[in-house]
Structure 1
Amino acid sequence: MNNPGSVLTPAHQQLLLQVARESIKQGLCGGTLAVKVADYPESLHATRATFVTLHVDEKLRGCIGTLEARRTLVEDVASNAAGAAFHDTRFPALIWPEFERLDIHISILSTPEPIRFTSEQNLLAQLRPRVDGLILEEGFARGTFLPSVWEQVPEPREFLRHLKQKAGLNADHWSNRIRVQRYWVESIS
């Protein structure tokens, strides 16, 4: 899988950031942003999966997303922005004083592709640090890391160990039932 780089124009990227900000603003006012897809450019109508990550004063403040594309790009961004601001269980709901200091980052995911591997070592050899987002699954255990996580965990073996833990598995766990998919993201901030 190749990362084709930016797919959206800078103007359309800025429009998505405005949608995310307006969705959060509506939530702070007690409402929900009503997205009328027809009001947006055609490139934002594609069915895509996204993650919206929020930072306040350079500290993580929320991150919510979808791995499977089920809604239009503009709808997914609006929904995930509100989710990151108000429904990430790791944080209390965002409040007005934080709104002006809010940095919004949008990750638009490619369609995940399975990685074929014969062993953990073989899988590690195929990973592309700072490029690959990964989805790891075994049974009901499932976790994902966006490519941006490579900034905190740059070594492939540690990246995989942390991902296993996020999925609810032991860091040293390995079995022939583990499935891994990779995806790339178009990043907007």
Structure 2
Amino acid sequence: MSNNILTPEEGQLLLKIARENIVSYLKGEEYALPNDLPKIFQEKLGVFVTLSLNSNLRGCIGYPEPYYSLIEGLLDVSISAAFDDPRFNPVSLQEFDKIKLELSVLTKPQLIEIQNYTDYISLIEIGRDGLIIENSYHRGLLLPQVPIEQKWDTVTYLENLCYKAGLSSESWKDENTKLYAFQAQIFEE
């Protein structure tokens, strides 16, 4: 991940902060950040928070682009993943004990330069590359762990990325489509 490599301890601290932030919100309390946070938490990095319950997705929201400092982004998306993911009801205090958190800290997305759409097959590496697709007003993102969890090959990954963006499965072959790759450092509870 370029020079933005978080240590395992920093990753665990981010998970602890995300969990405490959600619990504070559930209890209607103000969350106070710990003092003396690592300097890297102030760097602008993309971040996603994924919630799972019994190994099933329970919420996932994030910032693919490094708009905010890592800590600001984390505080924001941890609440959004728990309460504002339109695919799920808001998390309750009762179920939150059973929910596992996963964080993905992202590198800046880079346009994948190609001559022909077939180049994507050799350029995209399953497990390394998360992808963002853009075509006109459509945009979709899949984190690098998704194709591994779903046991997808590269073409299936690209087709599902198209669906996520509300596009037809062949849209990745369209010359007006742009694909961006990013990497993620993943931390789990």
TM-score (norm 2): 0.91
- Is 1:55 paired with 2:52? yes
Deviations 1:42-95 (A, max 9, x none): 121111110000011211100000111111111111111111000001000000
Quote the offset at 1:129 in angstroms: 0.7
Residue 84 of structure 1 aligns to a residue whose secondary structure is helix
Q: Structure 1 counterpart of 2:12, which letter?
A: Q
Tell me the secondary structure at the aligned position of residue 77 of structure 1.
helix
RMSD: 1.8
Query: Amino acid of the residue matched to residue 155 of structure 1?
Result: D
Amino acid at match of 1:11: E
In 2: Cα distance, 1:141 partner to 1:66 partner? 17
Give the TM-score of the pair, scaled to structure 1.
Answer: 0.91
Runs of 4+ in 1 over 6 A off after TM superposition: none
Distance in 2 of aligned mates of 1:154 and 1:117:
22
Q: Which position in structure 1 is the counterpart of 2:180?
A: 181
Alignment of 1:65-144 (within 5 A): 65-144=62-141
Deviation at 1:154, TM superposition (A): 2.2
Matched position secondary structure for 1:47: coil
Provide the residue aligned with 1:29 in structure 2: 27
* Shift in Å, 1:172: 2.0
C-alpha distance in 2, partners of 1:56/1:108? Answer: 21
CA distance in 1, matches of 2:127, 2:5: 18
> Does structure 1 residue 147 correspond to structure 2 residue 144?
yes
Q: Is the 8 A contact 1:33 1:78 kept in 2?
A: no
Tell me, in whole angstroms, the C-alpha distance in 2 between the residues paired with 1:96 and 1:176.
47
CA contact 2:60–2:85 (8 Å) conserved in 1: yes
**Amino acid in structure 2 at the alignment position of 1:18:** K
Tell me by how many angstroms 1:39 deviates: 4.1
